[in-house]
Structure 1
Amino acid sequence: MSARLPLISTTERRSRLGRRHRLAPSARATTVAEAADSVVALHATDAATVFLSTRARLAEGGPGMVEQALYDDVRLVRLLSMRNTLFAVSTELAPYVDASIARAIAVKERRTFLKHLDEDGQGLDAEWLARAEASALDTLDTRGPLTGSQLSAAVPALRQKITLGRGKKYEAQQGVATRVIRLLAADGRIRRDRPRGSWTSSQFRWVHTAPWPAVPAAEARAEIARLWLHAYGPATEADLKWWTGWTLTDVRKALSAVGPDQVRLDDGSTALVSPGDTAPEPAPEPWAALLPALDPTGMGWADRGFHLDAAHRSALFDYAGNIGPTVWWNGEIVGGWAQRPDGEIVWRLLTDAGRTAEKAITAEASRLAAWVGDARVTPRFRTPLERELVA
């Protein structure tokens, strides 16, 4: 039965990465939002990742172009979303990410915090929290943008402390400011503005903003599944479940609404693509890419075997499964890179990719060094190869 399905080979899957993830030079984006949309969302736990992932996909423009999209034009925003992790998405896509994922996270976060307030026994409740949030928003309106510490200093309620695990071995006191700010951000009532320091800093200032327009959750999940299949297909139900963090039921309903086509892979297994997306993908020109830690192209599937040799995994991932900085050649991870304290970009191949590849990778490393300039980038999640290269 599967033999009758259209075949999408590993080579063709890698060609799709070059074109659809805008990594081949001829496919690079002209805007930051276009670069983000090409992979649906950019991982944003590490502030530098948003910039470096965008850089790899832009035809031209420096860090200032990304800053303008994030903070001036607000064409790109950070949302707590997939897998309860921070991602950056275009403002056009944000309502769908919010409705399909972020809303449920926000509800759960608020329920958990209210439970902690109740267990603390100081009489802090939902009404107290509402007043604290209103005070924080009023302060941002009159004095913002403010960092979390500045906002806490200006709002007395945010200096409140509660006790977690009272009477237990792990009993600890915790300030409420970070939790309240996280709730406001999860609800879409505040957003991250320019940080203190350079583009590599995570000390963000906060501004008051309006929540995203309401979209029915089922409609939003279907739209996210459709966009994800175009960017990451061929892929499986398990891949989409991992990437989104949805329940299996929600994944299946979303895919049913999209109506994907089934295709055959080189190993004889089957996978899904967008409806009608079975035609051969023209191979782009040979391309090299230096992608940052947590880049979506390295983290887009639960099963990454088509672009990653399993033997290289231990060098390129940390203990928790976070990918480090990677070197790519024609859709395959062939090594890793790092920036040394003096600013030098260094890289190492884990497989013999040939002289043409080495020449292209050297050129791409030079392009990266020029783009980063005087900034220094250290991944939040350190991997064995990245540490070795820095040392």
Structure 2
Amino acid sequence: MTLRIDTAQRRARLAVRHGLAGPVPPGKTPEDVAADLVALHATDPATVHLSVAARLHRPLVATVEDALYERRTLLRMLGMRRTMFVVPSGFAAVVQAGATRAVAAEQRRLLVKHLTETGVGDAAWLEDVAESTFEALRRRGSATAAQLAADEPRLRSLMVFPQGNQYVTSRVLFLLAADGRIVRGRPVGTWISSQYAWSCLPDWLPEPMADLDPAHARTELARAWLARFGPGTAADLKWWTGWTMTHTRAALRALEAVAVELDGGETGYVLPTDTAPVDDPGPWVALLPGLDPTVMGFQGRQWYLGPHAPAVFDRTGNAGPTIWSDGRIVGGWAQQPTGRIAWELIEEVPASVRKAVTRAASELEGWLGDARVTPRFRAPLERKLADPAGTVVA
């Protein structure tokens, strides 16, 4: 008989495993939060800090930066779906072999195609420029893209396309990062800045990154995802990792993942050791940032998003800031120019939830202080609330 896991149980699992319900365990760290979520979305640099704060309920910018740039127990790297993540450094080799290596191969093929079509160079030219750039970075120890382009002028080569022109600088640095050779270090500016100084990865980490077998790494990446996001469908895992369905099914087979029936008749999967129910954690509320890993963990989002995608996602599927209550999205929020956290509910909720949202918004507003955070990808509800003339429910 097939095990059934209903929506209420999925929401309970997400709340407990993503650190969204109940008291914060003593001594819990940003590294623990990253492990709880497998990886922190880092395309928008503010998301990393806001995701941690949402779980630990206190501002930890300095602590997160210490983990990223001093102790280096967290690593910012390219990963699943060609997306930037922050991961525990000990898990980076799994992400590199299980996801990033394939991204690098595809992006190298595409860049060589573009270089050839625009008459800039070929594969040998790209390899020579990449090696020269890496050596320039090694000599400097740390450098911005502009500094590296001064050392290696070919980085300023311009690819001319009918739809617009592009310098090769960012594409070459992207490939070096995807190959696991260079890493984004401390931002040039504050914690919300998206401009970084680069360093050579072998000089950045205290120990070399292990070179794992890709199939083994995919299995371990699937194991981590199922442990934190399961049950999820094969389509969810395929979307989150960016794999082919062949690789997705192979990883599920290697794990001997258990098929379970979900509400709506879909088939989900859990680890063989994860079939027991999780206790309901009780009422909870959370204000999660745009691109938060909990929001972006699934392709099929109906069970926690309902009909609200047009309000809290942009047109390309990037989540804006959301309000959660008991495992579902019930509203959105934004920071206004004055620093005020404006919010609006898009579902009917009890008065107790409204009060909890008010407290959470006040807490977030207090610790953001003078910082002003605008999501990189802006959803319609966030745009409206960020405007002081917009509708505000508080």
Give the TM-score category using the shorter length: over 0.9
Question: Of 335, 339, 343, which aligns to 1:343?
Answer: 339
The corresponding residue for 1:209 is: 201
Contact 1:195 / 1:201 at 8 angstroms: preserved in 2? yes
Alignment of 1:122-133 (within 5 A): 124-133=121-130
TM-score, structure 2 normalization: 0.92
Question: Of 181, 184, 189, which aligns to 1:197?
Answer: 189
Contact 2:258 / 2:271 at 8 angstroms: preserved in 1? yes
- Rounded to whole Å, the distance in 1 between the matches of 2:190 and 2:231 is 38
Contact 1:30 / 1:59 at 8 angstroms: preserved in 2? no
Letter paired with 1:383: A
Q: 1:172 to 1:348 in 2, by over 3 A?
A: closer
C-alpha deviations, 1:127-181, integer Å up to 9, x for none?
A: 43333223322322332422212221232222233334xxxxx165432211111
C-alpha deviations, 1:257-290, integer Å up to 9, x for none?
A: 0011122334344321111312120121421110
- Rounded to whole Å, the distance in 2 between the matches of 1:81 and 1:256 is 23
Query: Counterpart of 1:299 in 2: which secondary structure?
Result: coil
Q: 1:117 to 1:313 in 2, by over 3 A?
A: closer
Question: Of 351, 375, 379, which aligns to 2:375?
Answer: 379
Alignment of 1:140-159 (within 5 A): 140-159=137-156
Following superposition, the deviation at residue 370 of structure 1 comes to 2.4
Q: 1:295 to 1:95 in 2, by over 3 A?
A: same
The corresponding residue for 1:167 is: none
The corresponding residue for 2:328 is: 332
The corresponding residue for 1:234 is: 231
The corresponding residue for 2:116 is: 118
Contact 1:25 / 1:59 at 8 angstroms: preserved in 2? no
Aligned residues: 381
Letter paired with 2:236: D
C-alpha deviations, 1:14-35, integer Å up to 9, x for none?
A: 1111110111142567111211
Contact 1:326 / 1:333 at 8 angstroms: preserved in 2? yes
Of the structure 1 ranges 74-83 and 247-256, higher mean CA displacement relative to structure 2 is found in: 74-83
- Rounded to whole Å, the distance in 2 between the matches of 1:146 and 1:320 is 33
Letter paired with 2:102: A
Contact 1:261 / 1:276 at 8 angstroms: preserved in 2? no
TM-score, structure 1 normalization: 0.92
Query: Counterpart of 1:272 in 2: which secondary structure?
Result: strand
Following superposition, the deviation at residue 57 of structure 1 comes to 1.8
Alignment of 1:303-314 (within 5 A): 303-310=300-307, 312-314=308-310
Alignment of 1:137-286 (within 5 A): 137-164=134-161, 170=162, 172-210=164-202, 212-286=209-283
The corresponding residue for 1:104 is: 102
Following superposition, the deviation at residue 187 of structure 1 comes to 0.8
C-alpha deviations, 1:329-357, integer Å up to 9, x for none?
A: 11111100000011111111111211111
The corresponding residue for 1:323 is: 319
Q: 1:126 to 1:262 in 2, by over 3 A?
A: closer
- Rounded to whole Å, the distance in 1 between the matches of 2:375 and 2:118 is 36
- Rounded to whole Å, the distance in 1 between the matches of 2:296 and 2:166 is 33
Query: Counterpart of 1:322 in 2: which secondary structure?
Result: coil
Following superposition, the deviation at residue 61 of structure 1 comes to 4.8
Q: What RMSD, in angstroms, separates the aligned Cα atoms of the two structures? A: 1.8
Question: Of 64, 74, 95, which aligns to 1:76?
Answer: 74
Query: Counterpart of 1:89 in 2: which secondary structure?
Result: strand
- Rounded to whole Å, the distance in 2 between the matches of 1:272 and 1:26 is 29
Query: Counterpart of 2:5 in 1: which secondary structure?
Result: coil
Query: Counterpart of 1:301 in 2: which secondary structure?
Result: coil
The corresponding residue for 1:94 is: 92
The corresponding residue for 2:33 is: 35
Following superposition, the deviation at residue 43 of structure 1 comes to 1.4
Query: Counterpart of 2:105 in 1: which secondary structure?
Result: helix
Contact 2:77 / 2:184 at 8 angstroms: preserved in 1? no
C-alpha deviations, 1:157-213, integer Å up to 9, x for none?
A: 22233334xxxxx16543221111111111111101111111111011111112732
Following superposition, the deviation at residue 9 of structure 1 comes to 2.3
Letter paired with 1:370: G
Unaligned runs of 5+ in 2: 203-207, 388-394
- Rounded to whole Å, the distance in 1 between the matches of 2:94 and 2:130 is 25
- Rounded to whole Å, the distance in 2 between the matches of 1:176 and 1:85 is 19
- Sequence identity percentage: 49
Unaligned runs of 5+ in 1: 165-169
- Rounded to whole Å, the distance in 2 between the matches of 1:31 and 1:274 is 26
